[in-house]
Structure 1
């Protein structure tokens, strides 16, 4: 008996195409993983990663960084990945040119993967390095966010800039290898990029708007943090621009390598669209609503602030800074506890002030307030900002208002500086920190968010002598002679006499 065996249907063309496509994708993935491992083990990349890790540790462990504003901390993560990106550009370019250097291109041409697919694998090999950079960004920002003194909030778009820069530079290295297959092209481009984006030689560097946004990293943290609502940075559009540019470079490299399929052309068109869209919108300038908010915060901050009263002092701060009121209050209590007369129980108003009308990177001093018993506090804290604020409190207690305090030229400066420094753990060190030239001898300008105070050489000597005297003895004499020590007619020599120190007071500036 003969059995009938049905004939097997031949594989259809679409099924064969799908199978071939899966095989090709698997081969591209395998090559990408192989090249990624080689890329991560290259000496320039290892050195860049080590330098990046050291930079993160150095930056986040600085004493002045114990009180970060997270809307600045996110931008501070963008500089380190530039170094990793430059290494990615150099090493990805070197990897693509390997077959040319070793004269193996003709052998690779007979393999299942054409040059375009191998180029795609090289572009994909940069992704793990970008992910490592993203991990570094996450570590740095999380480290800052977990500090007890952290305030504000960060932006995901700002945090993406570093990893996207690594992707962009790596894709640029691959594209350069296909357009200019020369061993010197990538090193020259690395030097050019280093000068432009690390050495600040970019023509529009330092600008807040316009063509400055065509650079990968646009501006770092400002001198003084601003509330998040006042930043007006097109961070989301910039991230879109960088992502589109990186994808454009990668797909263009695939295209010039000979793979001109419909998928590649469509992807390139989409990437160019994203790049143009992000590039155009990001250069549109500061939104009008942000400009209005900056004006309001600079001229009438009370409209945006939250006020809290602790003891006899009211503290008014922008909402993101209200957790810092406790730090300000501790300084005010310590300074005011040393004052005598009416100043000991004087009601004060500590108001946070910013100057945002002239952009994010302006460092203009604030106009001193003429409101009696109002003290200005800025948005920075930690380091020399503590004795700076302490001096501002002492100056208002002695002079009555900031405008008058900025004009002190007599012996009252001795009282101001002793009140500011005496309560601190290392007063002479704080004296150095609060002076612009970091000196403890001679005349100097004293740091201030408003009009700076000035000390003569004689006043410096008297203050230093007081700081070496027994604390409680000087405190008792300050309270006992408060009226005369805060009189506009007192000289530095008379202040030294009342406080029981012998020092060369010299002449006052107003004599």
Structure 2
């Protein structure tokens, strides 16, 4: 009789069955691998190269070196969409890789079920999103460090770019789990583009516009930060909730929890049943419900329109700016600015002093009030001109600066020095306009270039409209001819004649021909007829 002895072998720690820690370690390892592949995909590399190059090129000269940070934060939102589209396509191809190479059936012997692999692909989006966030922060920081920067940015606006990339990436994963075809992602891009075009069409369709990742505002006006009325924080919550909802939906359709088939989305053998040990249906379903609730909260709240308090503040800023401004006196001129713009009074003073130095002795020391004004009643989309001030010796200045705004402001100062009132200067169309334009432009570094900048047609000949923060001026062809000749002559020579004949040059009865005679010029050959 043979006796059989059975030995019991205790497995070592190194051969212990894989548990939750080992499984999630594998998820993180796969996520790291997929993240590296994602960042080195050609579409993503090209998108980041274009994004970085465009950002650097544009930020060098953006806002003419005088940014308002409440505008600069919105300027960071559109370019990341290019990266988001590249990430969507690339991560979609990464999830479908097993189908393209027919390796899905081998996943059945691996430790990771399909929904774990989906989580890994979702986590692989994080480095790309963080890299976009760094680019957004760098762009905004560059603007904030410019010497002429004013205002305040919004964290909600700055989050829109990175969150848009996250949302587009999760959509790529979800579509790969729902549709095995590689054409699903490009079709999704077409649908998103069509919807974005439709959402941008209605002027009052705020509820539709704010469903898009980025909501632009086409405005030539800069408003104080408290007057924007944009629900940036709620929109960021909406984007975060929507991205989380899409991510959890992708996990669910991948075979999350008990009873899911391992073949879902991977091409592995059908019929094999996974037992969800680490994340149950209840946990993911509860998370999806919570994410959808956050999305709805953000979507509903952001569509509420401009708050009543903001509307009232817009009215106050537009009609009674003096009640909200801080004023400081310098060399006979009082500068009144909104709190966010007080650092810019030095730039205004430089222009005022330059124009004063060329004026006649009778007005060179005249007290002036430079008052900042804004037309905010129509929001960011408004482009209505401000009404000229009727109070004596007051000059309007807007909320933007740099570039064309500098000679425009110089013209406004010169107009008040010559006529005494901004309202009178706005309707002036006699010989005084020649004196005003010379005072405004002669002291600049590039007088002829400034002459073209302040005219609607960018010309230095013929009749033209002169741009202004208030009502535009109208230059006849004769005015233009004389101003051009004066700017080509030595400043000291013309300045002496202006000072000597100041009283007659600034009388309302002076004609263009008489102005030419007083300043030592021939009568203009061009027509001297003011427009309607």
Which residue matches 2:83?
A: 84
Instruction: Choose from 328, 338, 342 the match for 1:322.
Output: 342
- Considering only CA atoms, is the larger Rg found in Structure 1 or Structure 2? 2
Aligned 8 A contact 1:109 1:115 in 2: no
Write the deviation string for residues 353-387 of structure 1: whole angstroms up to 9, x where unpaired: 01111111211111111111111000000010000
Which residue matches 2:69?
A: 70
Which residue matches 2:116?
A: 117
Write the deviation string for residues 66-101 of structure 1: whole angstroms up to 9, x where unpaired: 000011111111111111111111111111111111
Aligned 8 A contact 1:411 1:508 in 2: no
Give TM-score, length-normalised by structure 1: 0.93
- Structure 2: distance between partners of 1:395 and 1:63: 29
Which is worse superposed, 298-307 or 500-509?
500-509
1:87-166 → structure 2 map (5 Å cutoff): 87-166=86-165
Write the deviation string for residues 95-129 of structure 1: whole angstroms up to 9, x where unpaired: 11111111111112332111111111111111100
What secondary structure does 2:371 align onto?
strand
What secondary structure does 2:383 align onto?
coil
- Structure 2: distance between partners of 1:478 and 1:276: 67
- Structure 2: distance between partners of 1:177 and 1:207: 36
What secondary structure does 1:472 align onto?
helix
**Structure 1 residues 465 and 63: alpha-carbon distance in aligned structure 2, compared to 1, 3 A threshold:** farther
Aligned 8 A contact 1:395 1:405 in 2: yes
- Structure 1: distance between partners of 2:327 and 2:477: 40
Unaligned runs of 5+ in 2: 1-7, 258-279
**Structure 1 residues 510 and 365: alpha-carbon distance in aligned structure 2, compared to 1, 3 A threshold:** closer
What secondary structure does 2:370 align onto?
strand
Instruction: Choose from 481, 494, 504 the match for 2:525.
Output: 504
What secondary structure does 2:109 align onto?
coil
Which residue matches 2:271?
A: none
- Structure 1: distance between partners of 2:24 and 2:501: 86
Which residue matches 1:175?
A: 174
Which residue matches 1:289?
A: 309
Instruction: Choose from 433, 452, 467 the match for 1:447.
Output: 467
Which residue matches 1:243?
A: 240
- Structure 1: distance between partners of 2:9 and 2:293: 48
Q: Please say if 1:226 is aligned against 2:223.
A: yes
Write the deviation string for residues 282-340 of structure 1: whole angstroms up to 9, x where unpaired: 11111111111111000001111101111111111100000000000110011011111
Aligned 8 A contact 2:411 2:437 in 1: yes
Aligned 8 A contact 2:199 2:208 in 1: no
What secondary structure does 1:365 align onto?
coil
What secondary structure does 2:210 align onto?
helix
Instruction: Choose from 446, 463, 488 the match for 2:483.
Output: 463
Which residue matches 1:395?
A: 415
Alpha-carbon offset, residue 188 of structure 1:
2.3
Aligned 8 A contact 1:209 1:286 in 2: no
Alpha-carbon offset, residue 510 of structure 1:
7.2
- Structure 2: distance between partners of 1:187 and 1:497: 71
- Structure 1: distance between partners of 2:90 and 2:317: 48
Alpha-carbon offset, residue 204 of structure 1:
5.2
Give TM-score, length-normalised by structure 2: 0.90
Which residue matches 1:210?
A: 207
What secondary structure does 1:54 align onto?
helix
1:247-326 → structure 2 map (5 Å cutoff): 247-260=244-257, 261=280, 262-326=282-346
Number of aligned pairs?
498
- Structure 2: distance between partners of 1:201 and 1:468: 52
Alpha-carbon offset, residue 222 of structure 1:
3.3
Instruction: Choose from 363, 372, 383 the match for 1:343.
Output: 363
What secondary structure does 1:109 align onto?
helix
- Structure 2: distance between partners of 1:44 and 1:9: 51
Alpha-carbon offset, residue 505 of structure 1:
4.5
Aligned-residue Cα RMSD (Å) equals: 2.1
Write the deviation string for residues 198-254 of structure 1: whole angstroms up to 9, x where unpaired: xx5534566584332111111247322111111122111111110111111111011
